[in-house]
Each structure stands twice: as structure tokens, then as C-alpha cells.
Structure 1
């Protein structure tokens, strides 16, 4: 699989991303997979076309274009932000990768949002990128993420 034709955004992200002012989940997903961290300030220093390009990288495993993501981020940051991405060891067993257990953070975030948490069967029906999105949006404990409920609705998990 090559690059997507357009930036990969969930519907709930279109408004909240404000024309890619914020880092979309597809980019966050790939940053996490490659063990790279960039700040919002660094992201916003990148030209719009570069942000679109990074959001077009696939989120599926096994893509032949996949290894180019980290090189693209590195080159773009060096060129436009005079910086390099922070590196960390990627999680080799993230909670969202498991279709057989709803993460505790997603259950807590659902409660904060006033909706039922996904059943185990519905959680298992989500694709891995959708599970990643919910887990990422639910990572703050005790505070409702403004995109969590819209994501639950988009994924058919809440009314």
C-alpha cells in the first residue's frame, strides 16, 4: 500500500484538527509506532503540505512505504524547525492491540462521557487504528477528552 490519496482523518478530527493545526491521530499513530515524539510547536512549524503528506502515510502494517515515515519526519523537522524528533522505545504490546480486552482507560473515559463502555465483542470488531484512537483519546485519567464521545459515535459505539 502506498500513501493515501488525502490526509487520513476521522470525521470527528476534521473540525477539531483545524486544517491540520493539531497533530492528527494517523500521524500520532505512526509517531508512536516509530518511537518518535514531536511537539505541537514543531508540528506547526512544518509547512501545510508537509503536514498533509505525513497524514497520508498508511496506518496498516506491512506497507512498503512505512519505513519512509520516520525519515520524512526527521528531514522535515531538520529543514523547517531546525530540530530532530525525540526518540523513545515504542510500546511492543500496547493495550489497543488487544481485541480481547477493553482498556481500563477507555472504560473510565466512557464513564466520564456518560456512555456505556464498548462491549468486548464491539471492541473486538473495531480495527486496530480505531482501537488506537480510542485508547489514545482516553489516556488522560479523570478528565474527559473532547474528541472521545465524537469518536465513540463515529465508530458506532454511542448514540
Structure 2
């Protein structure tokens, strides 16, 4: 279930920051935009980018075309193209759960079956692990039905 998370809406009600669902799509497509580019878009355009699928190469191409059209209409520069994501460059695409995700989940009391998670859930766990943020990991788990919260043990 790809969506802007409730905790993101609470922290940023005006949508001035790029939400995790859009960051994931940018990473999958292998592009970067500046925060000023995001802020130049209308709220409706931002919502569209959050909702446009990007799960497979064809969908990513559509996402990129949509993004570029929006940025061009807003008078922004061309998007910075990188290499499209692979399992080697984006951990959430790997079939094996990264050790940092295993560790943060254990410390945060989050139960996750990596093999049964979607790309977005994996991306969120990798994001929490990269920040080494137990509270963020638990917050994410509270919003994602595929993740379970266990009681936190000391530490």
C-alpha cells in the first residue's frame, strides 16, 4: 500500500517536503529532484506523483514523463537522471533482508517477514535503518499492516 504516511502529513501538513513514497519512486526511477522543484509543484501535482505507480519499468517511465512534464510546466530544470535502481543499488529490491534492517527491527520490536513485504514496506524499513531510528521504525510499523509491533525490550 503506497501512500503518504499519516506521520508525514502530521509533521508536514502543507506537503513542503518530498514524502517517502515519492522518494522511493525517484530512487526506483534513478532520478533526483531538488526540494525547490518539489515545492514549485501544485498540491494536486504532488498528490498525483504520490499516486502514480512506479513498480515496474513501464510504470517508472510513465512516472518520469509525468514528473518531467510537471517540472517543465512549472519552469523548473530537467530532472537529474542517474542509473535506474537495481538490487545492488537499492536494498529494498534485494531478496535478502539487509542486516541493518534486521537489527533495527529487533531493537524497535518490529516483526517483518522480508520475503512477503512489498517494495514500499521494504523501502520504509531501509529508510528507518539508514537513520538508525527505532521510534521511526515503530511509527512506520504502526501504519503498515504487513508489519507487526512487538513489545519493546530494554536497550
Distance 1:154 1:48 in 2: 23
Matched-pair contact (CA < 8 Å) for 2:52–2:63? yes
Choose from 64, 68, 80 the match for 1:70.
Answer: 64
Give the RMSD, CA atoms, in angstroms. 2.7
Deviating runs (4+, > 6 A) in structure 1? none
Q: Tell me which residue corresponds to 1:136.
A: 127
The equivalences for 1:9-28 within 5 A come to 9-28=4-23
Distance (Å, rounded) in 1 between the aligned partners of 2:17 and 2:136: 13
Residues 1:80 and 2:71 aligned together = no
Q: How many Å separate the matches in 2 of 1:10 and 1:16?
A: 10
Q: Name the residue aligned to 1:96.
A: 92
Please list every run of 5 or more consecutive structure 1 residues that lacks an aligned counterpart in the other structure: 1-6
Q: Structure 1 residue 88: deviation in Å?
A: 0.8
Q: TM-score, normalised by structure 1?
A: 0.73
Q: Structure 2: any 5+ residue segments left out of the alignment?
A: 151-155
Aligned to 2:153: none
Greater shift, 74-83 or 47-56, is seen at 74-83
1:23 positional shift: 1.3
SS in 2 for 1:130: helix
Bigger helix fraction: 2
1:110-157 Cα shifts (integer Å, max 9, x gaps): 46xx424645xx2222222211221133223xx527633201233333
Contact 2:110-2:137 at 8 Å conserved across structures: no
Q: How many residues are aligned here?
A: 145
**Is residue 149 from structure 1 mapped to residue 146 from structure 2 by the alignment?**
no
CA apart distance, 1:26? 2.2
- Paired residue for 1:8? 3
Please give the TM-score of this superposition, normalised by the length of structure 2. 0.74
